[in-house]
Amino acid sequence: MTAVPALNIQGLRKSFGKTEIIRGVDLTIGRQERHAVIGPNGAGKSTLFNLITGRFPPTGGKVSLHGKDLSGLAPFQINRLGLSRSFQITNIFPKMSVFENVRCSLLWARGYRYSFWNMVSKSRDLSEAADAILDQINLSDRRELPAGVLSYAEQRALEIGITIAGGADVIMLDEPTAGMSHSETDYIVDLIRRVTENKTLIMVEHDMGVVFGLADRISVLVYGEIIATGRPEEVRANPKVQEAYLGAALEAEH
Amino acid sequence: MDLILVNLIDGLVTGLLLFMLSAGLTLIFSMMGVLNFAHASFYMLGAYFAYQISLFMGFWMGLLIAPVIVGLAGAGIERYGLRRVHQYGHVPELIFTFGLALLIEEIVQFIWGKNQMPYSPPEILQFTLFSIAGNAIPAYKIFMLCMSMGIFIALLYVLTRTRVGMVIQAALSYPKTVEALGHNVPLVFMGVFGVGTALAGVAGVIAGPVLGTFPGMAFLLGSIVFVTIVIGGLGSLWGALVASLLIGWITTFAASYNVAMADILVAVGFEKPADLSESALRDLWSLTLPQIGPILPYLLMVLILVFRPYGLFGKRDV
Amino acid sequence: MNRQAVQNQTTAPQGGVTLATALPWIISTIVLLFIPLVFTSNSAITIMNQMAITIIFALAYNMLLGQGGMLSFGHAIYMGFGGFVSVHVINYVEDYSLPLPLPVLPLLGGLAGLALAILIGSFSTRKAGTVFAMISLGVGELIAACSVIIVVFFGGEEGVSGDRTYGLPVFGIEFLQQIEVYYLIVFWLLLSALLMYLFSRTPVGRMANAVRDNPERAEFLGYSARWVRFFSFCASGFFCGIAGGLFAINYEILTEENLNLVQSGSILLITFLGGVGFFFGPIIGAIVFTLLSTVLSLQTDLWQLYVGALFLAAVMYFPGGLAGVIMMHWPAFKMGNIRLLIGPYIKTFTPCLVGILGTAALIEMTFHFRHAAIGDEEMTLFWTTFNSHSVLPWLLVVAVTAAAFWLTRRNLPEMVAAWHTANSLPGVSK
C-alpha cells in the first residue's frame, strides 16, 4: 500500500481507571477496503470505535484519517473530515419522521451548515437524495412514520441509512446485526454490501460468520490487543486466533 | 475582630441552614436525576406545619412531628406524581416540580393567608446566651447551629457507616449500576425523596421563627439553594457543603460591611464627578456592598459556570 | 409525538407554498384584521393586545422548549430587556427629536434581546437539560435582582416609562388609540410568527429537533450540538425582544415585574398548557391563558390556585398540552369516526365538569368560611347567594359533586371503548 491509508491507528491505548481496555492497537486500513474487527464480548471492540470517532479521548497513541491526525477533535469535526459511524445500541432521532432522520443526516454534508435562510423543504436536491437513501434501505413506505415506532430491524436499517447518508467515504458500523434473526441478518449484510460500494468500511462484529463473505480483511481483537490481521481464510486458519477466540468465547459462555 | 467573629457565627448558621436544603436536593438529584424545583416549598411546609402544631402542642412537638409529615408528603408526591411523570423524561419532571412549587405556594396562601405567621422561638430559648463586644448572640441561634451540626453529623454517619448509606453513595457515583444490582429502586427513590424533603422540613421548622414564616419564603430561599448546588457541583455532597458555607459567609459579611463603591473607585484613582444625577454611571458610584450582597451568589454562580462548568466539586456529566 | 410526521402530511412532498400550508396563515390574518370590528370595546382590544404579545413570547419560548428541548426558567429577561431598551429608545428619540418611526421600534427591542441572548447563550447552551435549566434560573434571578440596583437602566422600583406618541405621525397615525396599537401589534405578530415558523424549516431549525432528540447522534452527523442550541437560543432571544418592544409600546412602562421569576414561570405555564409538541400549541396556550386569567381573576381570588392545579394535572395526564389533545383526535377525524366520540364525550365530560365545578365551589366556600370578615356570612357563588356558615349548602354541594364524579367514573369505560372503536380502521373489529 503506497497511497495514504484511509485510517491509520498507532499504539492506541485506553484505560478506565486502572483497567486498560485497549492495550496498544496498531491497524492500517486501506482505501475502499472492507475491514471487519471481530472478537469476543468485552474485547474492547466498541471502545476502539469510540476512540477512533472521538467519543472518548484515548489515553495514548494516535489515529489519523487520510493522513490527518484526529487527536483532540470532537466527533462533529471528525465527521466533517469524512468519517461516519453507526452505533451498537440504536441511536436515531425517535420523535422525528424517518424521512426527517435521513434528511437531517444529509444537511451538513450538502453544505447547509447552520444556515437559517434556506428552507429545507424547498430543496428538491435534498428531498430527492433523502428519498434515494430511503429507497436503498427499503424504508420508503415508512417515510412519514416517527422513527421511534419502527421495528427493531427497520431501526437498524435506518441507523445504517443515517450513517451513509452524508456520503462519508469511511463508514464505521458497530455490530450492525446485533440482536437480529438469521433472515434479518442476511438482509442487513446485503444492504451493507450495497451501500458501501466504493467506500472504506470498518465494521465490528461479534460473529465471525457474518463478516466472512463481506470483509476483505479481518482483525481479531482479544482483550484490547489485535492478535491477528489478514484475509478471512488466513485468519480463520490462524491457530492463535482459533485458540484465543474460541477459548475466550468458551470462557464468556461460562 | 469581634465583628468578624459574630459574622462568622451568623454566616455559619446561614450556611448550615442552606446545607440542610442543598444536601437533600443533592441526594435527590444524584439518585433520581430529578432536580426538585419544589424543594424549598417543602422547607416552607415545614415551617407552616410546625407553626400549626406549636399552637396546640408547643414548639418541640412541632420540631418532632412537622418534618415527619413533610417527609411523608414528599414520599407521597414522589409515588403518585413524580413517578408518573418520570416516563416522559427529564424536562417534564422539572416542569412538574416547578408546577408543584407554584401549587404549594397557592395552597399555603389558601390555608394560612398571605400574612406572616406569628411563629416564634420557644420561650425557653428566648434569652441572650452571651455577647461578643456588645453584640448579643441569642440562644436560639446557637440552638440552630447545634441542630444543623447534629443533622450534618447524623447524615455523615448514615452515609458512611450504614448499609443504606453505602447504596446511596454508590448511587451518587454509579447511578446505573445500583439500578442493576437489584435493589428495590422505586422504594429507595421514594425513601430518598421523603428523607430529602424531611430534611428541608427540619430546616423550615428551625428557620421559620427567625427568617419569617410567609408564603414567599420558599421562592426567596429556593433560588439561592439552586445556586448553591450549581456552585458546589451538581451531585456532590461535599460541594454542597462547601458552597453552602461559602454563600452563608459571603452574604453575611457583605450585609454587615458598609463598603461603598465610591470609596473603592476613589482609592484606585478615579475622580468622583461633581454632579452624579446626570451621569450614566451614577449607580456605580452609589453602590454599597450590602446592596449587592444578595446578588453575589448569582454572580458567583455565573463566574463558576464560565470558568468551571461542573462547579467546584462536580465531576458528573448531567 | 409525531409532529414532523403531521407537518409533512400538510406540506407538499417537494416543498413550495401550497394552499394547505398557506391556508392557516390566510385565515389567521383575516381573523386578526377583522376581529376588532366584532369586539369593539376598549377592554376587548386591551385583552387582544395582551394576547398577541403573549403569543409572540410563547412562540419564541417554544423555539427553545418544544423545538430545542431546552427548559428555560428565566426567559422573561430577554423580553424584559428588549422592552427596557425600547422604552429608553422612545425617551431618547423624544428628547433629541430623532426621526425614528414607532413601528420599527420592536425591531430594536428584538436586537436588544438578541444581544443579551448572544451574551448569555455563549456559556449557557454548552449543556442542555438540567444544567441549562439551572443556569437560566440563576441568570434570570441575577438580572431581576440587578433591576433594583442599576437604577439608571431599570428605573428601580417604579420602572421606566415613556410616551409612544413621541414622534411624527406615521401615515397620519399617531398611535393615540388602542386600536392603532392593535394593528401595529398584529403586523408584528404575523411577521414574527411566520418567521419563527420558517425558522423551524431551516437546516438549523431541523437540527434543533435532532439535537433535542439525540444530541450525541447529531454530533456524529457533523453538527456541534452546542452551536445548534446556541443559534436556537439567539433566535428565541430575538423574538422575545420583539415581544418586549411591543410590550413597551402597548403599556408604555416596564418594571421589575417584566423580568422576574413569576413572568418567566407563567410563560413556561402558557407554553406547556398550549402544547410544546406543535407549532400552534403556544398560540392556543396564550389565547386560553389570557382569557382564563382575565375571566377567572374577575370571578375569584383563588384563580392562581386553580391555574396551578390545572398546570400540574396537565403535566401529569396531558404532557402534550391542549394542542396534543386536539391532535390526538386527528386520526379519528381523518377516518371520519369523530362522531362516534361525541355522545360518550358528552356523557362523561358533563358530569366531570360538574364535579370539578363542585370541587371548586367547596374550595371557595372553605376559603370564605375561613377568611371572610367576621359577621360576613353571605357569599355568592354561581349567581346564588347563601350563608356559608349553614350546613345545607355544604351538604348540597358535597352531594352534587360526589354524584357527578360517580357518574363520570361510571361512564368512563364507555368513552374508552368508543375511543378505541373510533381509532380502529373500518372493518377491523376491536
**pLDDT exceeds cutoff 50 at B71:** yes
> What percent of the residues of chain C are helix, what percent strand, and what percent coil, each to the nearest 5?
75, 5, 25
CB contact under 8 A, C138 and B110: no
pLDDT exceeds cutoff 80 at C169: no
What is the SS3 assignment for C329?
Answer: coil
| pLDDT cut 90: percent of chain C above it | 37
Under DSSP, is residue C47 helix (H, G, I), strand (E, B) or coil?
helix
- What's the mean pLDDT in B149-163? 85
Mean pLDDT of chain B: 83
Across B16-25, B282-291, C144-153, least confident range = B282-291
Interior angle at CA C254, CA C250 and CA C259, nearest 5: 120
- Mean pLDDT is highest, among A220-224, A236-240, C134-138, C250-254, for C250-254
Of how many residues is chain A composed? 254
Domains of chain C: 3-319 (1.10.3470), 331-422 (no CATH)
Q: How many domains does chain A have?
A: 1
Q: Which of A70, A78, A121 to mutate to test the interface with C (most CBs of C within 10 A)?
A: A121
Q: Give the range among A102-106, A247-251, B96-100, B151-155 with minimum mean pLDDT.
A: A247-251
On whether the CB atoms of residues A130 and A106 are closer than 8 A, the answer is yes
**Choice among B99-108, B263-272, C151-160, C404-413 with the minimum mean pLDDT:** B263-272
Amino acid in the structure at residue C367: F
| Contact call for B230 and C138, based on CB within 8 A | yes
Res. B318 pLDDT band, cuts 50 70 90? very low
Give a yes or no: residue A18 inside a domain.
Answer: yes
Answer yes or no: is pLDDT of B199 > 80: yes
The pLDDT tens digits of the residues spanning A175-214 come to 888 888 888 888 888 888 888 888 999 999 877 777 888 8
Phi-psi category of residue C406: left, alpha or beta, with phi > 0 → left and psi -120 to 50 → alpha: alpha
Nearest CA in chain B to C74: B223
Question: What is the residue-averaged pLDDT of chain C?
Answer: 86
Using a CB-CB cut-off of 8 Å, the residues of chain C touching A122 are 15-16
- Higher pLDDT residue, B122 or B197? B197
A132 is a domain residue: no
Which grid coordinates are listed for B128? 441572650
Distance of alpha carbon C207 from alpha carbon C221, whole angstroms:
10
Min mean pLDDT across A162-176, C5-19, C62-76 is at C5-19
Q: C374-397, pLDDT tens digit by residue?
A: 777 777 777 778 777 788 888 888
* A233 falls within a domain: yes
Least Cα separation, residue B70 to chain C (angstroms) = 19
C275 to chain B: closest CA residue: B92
Q: Are strands A34-38 and A217-222 parallel, antiparallel or unpaired?
A: parallel
| pLDDT score for A84 | 92
Q: Does residue A195 belong to any structural domain of this protein?
A: yes
Q: Can chain A be said to touch chain B, i.e. do they have 3 or more Cβ pairs within 8 angstroms?
A: no
pLDDT of residue C229: 95
The three-point CA angle C387-C388-C392 to 5° equals 75
Residue of C nearest to A89 (CA): C217
What's the one-letter identity of residue C129?
Answer: G
Residues C321-377 have pLDDT tens digits of: 899 888 888 888 888 888 888 888 888 888 899 989 888 888 888 888 877 777 777
CATH code (residue A194): 3.40.50.300
Residue to mutate among C4, C65, C114, C195, with most A CBs inside 10 A, is C4
| A179 part of a folded domain | yes
C223 contact residues in A (CB cutoff 8 A) = 76, 107-108, 114
Which of residues 67 through 126 in chain A touch C, CB cutoff 8 A? 74-76, 79-80, 84-85, 87, 91-97, 99-100, 103-105, 107-109, 112-124
- The helix (run of H) or strand (run of E) holding residue A127 is helix A124-136
**Burial (CB count within 10 angstroms: exposed 0-12, middle 13-18, buried 19+), residue B133:** exposed
A17 burial (CB, 10 Å; 0-12 / 13-18 / 19+) is: exposed
Q: Write down the pLDDT at residue C1.
A: 39
Does A37 fall in a domain? yes
What is the average per-residue pLDDT within C77-99?
90
Domains and CATH numbers, chain B: 2-256+288-307 (1.10.3470)
Question: Which chain A residue's Cα is nearest to C221?
Answer: A105
Residues 276-315 of B with CB under 8 A from C: 280-283, 287, 291-292, 294-295, 298-299, 301-302, 305-306, 309
pLDDT tens-place string over residues A14-68 = 988 888 889 989 999 999 899 999 888 788 888 999 999 988 889 999 999 998 9
| pTM for the whole structure | 0.89
Count other Cβ atoms within 10 Å, centred on residue B209: 23
Closest Cα to residue C73, out of C310, C297, C363, C269? Answer: C269
Asked, for residue A191, whether it belongs to a domain, the answer is yes
Domain range for A31: 7-90+164-253
| pLDDT classification of A158: cutoffs 50, 70, 90 | very high
- Taking contacts as CB-CB distances below 8 angstroms, the residues of chain B near C302 are 106, 110
